Structure 1
Amino acid sequence: MVPFQEESAETQQQFESVATKAGEDVKNALDGLKRGDFEQAWPLIQQYALPAIQIILLVIVAYMVAKFVSRIVSTPIRRRVDETLGKFVGKVAYYGIMISVLVSVMGRFGFQVTSFAAILAAAGFAIGMAFQGTLGNFASGIMLLVFRPFKVGDVVNAAGVTAKVNEIDLFTTIFDTPDNRRIIVPNSSITAGTIENISHHQERRVDVAVGCDYGADLRETREVLNSAAESLQDKMVEGDGRGYQVVLGGLGDSAVNWTVRFWTTADEFWGVKEELTEAVKNRLDQAGIGIPFPQMDIHVNNVG
C-alpha cells in the first residue's frame, strides 16, 4: 500500500472509531435518562456537548475573522491592481483560515492532524502535476496583473499577435484585431516572449522611406521633402526632439535613400502615415523628381 493510501485508511479508521464511540455513549446516556438516571448524561455533556458548543463558537468567530481578513487583503488589490486578482487573493485568505480551523477542530476530537495534512499535501501535489500547464498560465496571469506591462485598451504585439487588449484574466488574455477577430492567448505564452506595448506612449514617430533618382539635386530633394512634412503642420507634435526631420539614409543600388520622420499623436499615427506618404509622392511628382525602379546593368562579353 502506498503512503497516501495508508494515511487515508488510517484517517478513515479514526473517523469510524470516534463515531462508533460517540454513538455508544449517546445510546447509553439516553437509556439512563429513560430510567431517570442523570449521572450518565452529565459526563456525556461534559465530553461532547460542551466541546461541541466551543467548536461552534470557534467556527463562528473563525468565519467572521476570515471574512474580515479576506476583505482587508482583497480591497487594496482590487483598487490598485485588478478586480479579479483581488477577489482571488481574498478567497485564498478566507479558505486558508477556515481550513486551519477545521484542522484544529479535528485535533480537539483526537484525530491525528499530521495524517490529514499528509493527505492534503499528497492531493495538492497530484492536482499540481495534473494542472501543471494551467498553473503556469495562472502564475503568468498574476504577473501580468501585478506588473501591468499593458492594460485593457492598449495595442500590443505579444505571442505573435498584434491587436488591442480586450480583457486580462488569470489564465488567458483576450485580444481584438483590427479586422474584428477575437484571439484568446494563454498567459504563459505572453510572458514567455517579448511584449511590445505599441500604444503605451501618447506620441509616436511616423517614418516614411523613399528612394529618389541619382540625377536629382540633393538640396532640392530635401526642400521638397521638407515641404511635404510641413503640409501636415496641424498634426505635428512640437517640442524637444519632436517635430519632423528629413534624413539622407544612404546611397542605394538604384536610388538615393531618404527618410521623412514625423512626430504625431498615437491616436493619429496610421492616418498621418498615409497622408505623409501621399504628400511625399505628390511633392516629388510636382518637382519632377523620380522614384526609380531597381536597376541592374548586364554586361555581355562575346567569347571566341
Structure 2
Amino acid sequence: MLSLLLAQAPAAQPPTTQPAAPQPPAAPAQAAANRPPVSAEEAAVDAVKENLLAPPPGVSKEAYNEFMTLKWTRLDAGEWTEIVTYYAVQWGARIGLALIVFYIAWTLAGWASMAVDRTLGRLKFDATLTKFLSRLVRWLVLLLAGLMCLSYFGVQTTSFAALIGAAGLAVGLAFQGTLSNFAAGAMLLLFRPFKVGDAVNVAGQTGVIDEISIFTTAMDTFDHKRIIIPNGEIFGAVIENITYHSYRRCDGDVGVSYSADIDQTRAVLEQVAASIEGVYPGKDPAVVLMGLGASSVDWSVRVWAPTADFLTIKQRLLREIKVRLDGEGIEIPFPQMDVHIDQPNAA
C-alpha cells in the first residue's frame, strides 16, 4: 500500500528561479553627474583633439582610420586625393597665415626695439637700462605674435596665459633675491642717485663708482680695491654722494691751550683761512669757536673747496694751521690728566 501511494504521488518539482529583471540604464543626467569633473585646460585639449582627428568631409571613417594608422596601401586614389587636398587646404592656409603674421611681427619688433633705443638715447638714459628696455619690447611683440599664431590652429591661448603666470610665480619664488637686485638696479638706473665716476658712501663702503649693471654695482675704494655690491643692498640703504655738488666745505678742527688768548687765536686762524689758495670763490671762510673741551679750547676753520681739489685744500689748511699757531707761540695741547695724591700725615 505504501509503495502504491508513493507511486501515485506527484514528483517534486525543482525550485524555479526567476531571472533578474534588467536594470534600466542610468539616466543621462545621472551619468553626467557621476562623471569626474573636467578642468578648462582638459576641455580645451579635448576640443583640439576632436577637431584634429575628425575625418575630412567626403572620406569615410574607416578610410580615415586606415590613413591615420599608416595603412596607406588599403586606400584608393580617390581617398588619397580627398585626404591630401583637405589637409593642404586647411592646414596649408593656416601655416601660411601664421608665417606671414610672424614675419610681420618680427619686423615690427625690430622697429619697436630701435625706436625705444633711439628715444631713450635722446633722453640720455643709462645705456644698460636702454638696452634692456629695447630687448624687452622686442620679445613682448614676438610673444604676442606667437600667441596669435597658436590661436589660428585652434589652441586656446588662455591656458597658455595661465601656464605663463604659474611659471612666472615659480621663477619669482626661486629667484627672489636676484629679482630684488634686478628691480633695485632698474630703479638706480632710472632715478640715478649717482653715476659712474661719483665718490659715494653706501652699504658701509666708500669709493668711486666704476660700473652700474642691472644686478650689481662695482666701485673702487680710495686704496684701489674693487668692491661689488648687490643693488638690493644699495637701493634699500642711505646713499651719500660725496661728489654730487661742485664744491664742498673743508673743516680744519684744532684745539688750543686754555692759556692762549681767545681773540689772538681767532685772529691767527682768520689769517690762516684767508691765506689758503685754490678755495671756492663763491663762499667766504669762517672761524668758529666749537666749545671748551676737557683739555683744550676747540676751534674749527672752515673754507670752501672745489670738489675735485678737496683733499688738496684739506692738506693745505691743516698744515697752515699748525705752522701759524707754532709761529705765534699758541700751544696745541694733547689730552692730559692731572693726578693729585694726598698722603696721610705721618704719625
Normalising by structure 1, we get a TM-score of 0.86
2:243 is the alignment partner of 1:199 = yes
Partner residue of 1:56 out of 99, 103, 113: 99
2:280 is the alignment partner of 1:237 = yes
Cα distance change, pair 142–302 in 1 and its aligned pair in 2 (3 A) = same
2:195 is the alignment partner of 1:151 = yes
Identity over the aligned pairs, expressed in percent? Answer: 39
Q: CA RMSD in A?
A: 3.0
Q: May I ask how many residue pairs the two structures share in their alignment?
A: 295
Aligned pairs for 1:80-119 (under 5 A) are 80-119=124-163
Quick check: 2:279–2:313 contact (8 Å CA) kept in 1? no
Partner residue of 2:302 out of 231, 244, 261: 261
Q: Which residue of 2 aligns with 1:3?
A: none
Q: Which residue of 1 aligns with 2:213?
A: 169
Q: Which residue of 2 aligns with 1:224?
A: 268
Q: Which residue of 1 aligns with 2:115?
A: 72
Q: Which residue of 2 aligns with 1:290?
A: 331
Quick check: 1:14–1:111 contact (8 Å CA) kept in 2? no
Is the deviation greater in 291-300 or in 86-95? 291-300
Shift of 1:260: 0.2
| Distance in 2, Cα, partners of 1:301 & 1:140 | 66
Q: Which residue of 1 aligns with 2:26?
A: none
AA aligned to 1:91 is R
Q: Secondary structure at 1:188's aligned position in 2?
A: helix
Quick check: 1:163–1:175 contact (8 Å CA) kept in 2? yes
Q: Secondary structure at 1:246's aligned position in 2?
A: strand
| Distance in 1, Cα, partners of 2:80 & 2:293 | 112
- Give the unaligned 5+ runs of structure 1: 1-5
Shift of 1:38: 4.8
Cα distance change, pair 14–286 in 1 and its aligned pair in 2 (3 A) = farther
Cα distance change, pair 299–111 in 1 and its aligned pair in 2 (3 A) = same
AA aligned to 1:222 is R
Quick check: 1:173–1:185 contact (8 Å CA) kept in 2? yes
Shift of 1:298: 3.1
Larger RCO of the pair (alpha carbons < 8 Å, separation 6+): 1
| Distance in 1, Cα, partners of 2:76 & 2:302 | 98
Cα distance change, pair 83–221 in 1 and its aligned pair in 2 (3 A) = same
Q: Which residue of 1 aligns with 2:176?
A: 132
Please identify runs of 4+ aligned residues in structure 1 that moved more than 6 A. Answer: 6-23, 27-37
Cα distance change, pair 32–102 in 1 and its aligned pair in 2 (3 A) = farther
Cα distance change, pair 11–272 in 1 and its aligned pair in 2 (3 A) = farther
Q: Which has the larger radius of gyration?
A: 2
Quick check: 1:29–1:41 contact (8 Å CA) kept in 2? no
Q: Which residue of 1 aligns with 2:35?
A: none
Cα distance change, pair 113–163 in 1 and its aligned pair in 2 (3 A) = same
AA aligned to 2:246 is Q
Is the deviation greater in 246-255 or in 200-209? 246-255
